[in-house]
């Protein structure tokens, strides 16, 4: 009986949400609650009117999906191409938005000139230091936060550091020495822009589990020894609309207790879809509850200061191609830029929060 009541309440909520305009935008609700609400962005879509206007109206923070990753921003050994990243930063400045930089060190989307040639650890260390200091320095005082390291831990049992070009293939001189190589990356980024917030970002670590335990131990060690780490990003790619919200809240709480900020950095909630990419209305209600509950878990901790989605319209979501079109409809707006129940659920949760 309780389930039926909850379900019917959300069906009524859906009718109200889609039948009347919101009293304020998502961005307005976030601004008034003292939160950052962001989304990952593709600069090539900024020329699309609905994309650009929806982005500027609804979000107060943006992050590049790909254009600040190595293969785009550092395409040749002595060449840096900031053109697309600069385009996003200019859009953000013109619309009074903050920018998260993504990402300085990752094992994927690296250029062939970097991965296709054998180098010594000393050579790789010089290349990585130059890359981090050049990119962060270029965006000094323009990018407010950086994902310095992305996905350095694997999903094995027991959890260990992922084998990568930066760690042990051949690494930058600290193979077998745990997170020591990451410590250098944070120090280089801090030297290039002492005012930027520096984050470690990972997937499947939003709840209390072996991976988040390993990340927690690293962050605690870094904080004790004065390594300049300011926050942790939980990607929050959810494969179904039933997250363990209690565990997510507990996890956020223990990280913020260390004195670091938490950002939800890449949230989407994948749903089963039909051949036309449409999700069932009942699943959309469950998705709305998931967005609402994750936002509630974040808002319960003053150190959780940002909620960001990986894109904002289903028109450009990565979920369809990644799942061979068996899943989709994962974001706040549909393919026609219409707000979905998840949008209204997140907006109302932000609206109800008053941190200031």
Catalytic positions, written as ranges: 151, 266
**Alpha-carbon dihedral sign for residues 160, 165, 168, 169:** positive
Whole-angstrom Cα distance, residue 231 to residue 219? 9
SS3 category, 296: helix
If you write DSSP's letter for every residue of 70-116 in order, what string do you get? HHHH--BTTB---HHHHHHHHHHHHTT-EEEEEEEE-SSS--HHHHS
Classify residue 55 by its DSSP letter: H
Q: Distance from CA of residue 68 to its chain's centroid?
A: 14
Whole-angstrom Cα distance, residue 49 to residue 282? 31
Pairing of strands 237-238, 231-234: unpaired
Contacts of 161 (CB under 8 A, 6+ apart): 152, 153, 154, 167, 178, 179
The number of residues making up the chain comes to 356
Residues 139 and 87: beta-carbon distance below 8 Å: no
Whole-angstrom Cα distance, residue 156 to residue 158? 6
Whole-angstrom Cα distance, residue 88 to residue 69? 14
SS3 category, 205: coil
- Nearest 5°: phi and psi at 183? -55, -45
Whole-angstrom Cα distance, residue 161 to residue 152? 6
Closest by Cα among 139, 147, 31 to 90: 139
Residues 270 and 277: beta-carbon distance below 8 Å: no
């Amino acid at each position: 009986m309780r389930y039926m009541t909850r379900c019917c309440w959300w069906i009524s909520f859906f009718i109200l949400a889609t039948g009347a305009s919101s009293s304020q935008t998502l961005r307005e609700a976030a601004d008034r609650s003292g939160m950052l609400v962001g989304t990952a962005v593709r600069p090539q879509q900024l020329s699309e009117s609905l994309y650009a206007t929806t982005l500027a109206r609804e979000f107060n923070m943006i992050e590049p999906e790909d254009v600040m990753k190595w293969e785009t921003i550092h395409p040749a050994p002595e060449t840096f191409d900031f053109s697309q990243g600069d385009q996003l930063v200019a859009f953000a400045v013109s619309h009074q938005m903050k920018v998260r930089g993504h990402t300085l060190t990752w094992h994927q989307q690296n250029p062939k000139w970097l991965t296709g040639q054998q180098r010594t650890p000393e050579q790789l260390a010089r290349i990585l230091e130059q890359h981090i200091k050049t990119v962060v320095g270029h965006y000094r005082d323009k990018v407010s936060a950086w994902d310095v390291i992305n996905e350095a831990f694997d999903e094995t049992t027991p959890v260990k550091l992922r084998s990568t070009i930066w760690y042990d293939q051949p690494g930058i001189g600290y193979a077998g020495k745990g997170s020591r190589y990451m410590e250098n990356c944070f120090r280089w980024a801090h030297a290039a822009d002492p005012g930027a917030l520096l984050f470690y970002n990972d997937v499947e670590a939003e709840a209390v589990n072996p991976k988040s335990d390993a990340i927690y131990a690293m962050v605690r060690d870094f904080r004790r020894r004065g390594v300049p780490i300011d926050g942790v990003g939980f990607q929050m790619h959810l494969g179904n609309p039933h997250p363990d919200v209690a565990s997510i809240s507990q996890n956020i709480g223990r990280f913020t207790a260390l004195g670091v900020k938490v950002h939800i950095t890449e949230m989407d909630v994948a749903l089963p879809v039909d051949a036309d990419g449409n999700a069932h209305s009942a699943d959309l209600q469950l998705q709305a509850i998931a967005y609402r509950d994750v936002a509630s878990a974040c808002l319960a901790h003053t150190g959780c200061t940002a909620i960001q989605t990986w894109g904002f319209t289903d028109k450009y979501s990565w979920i369809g191609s990644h799942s061979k079109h068996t899943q989709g409809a994962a974001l706040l707006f549909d393919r026609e830029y219409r707000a979905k129940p998840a949008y209204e659920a997140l907006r109302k949760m932000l609206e109800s929060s008053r941190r200031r």
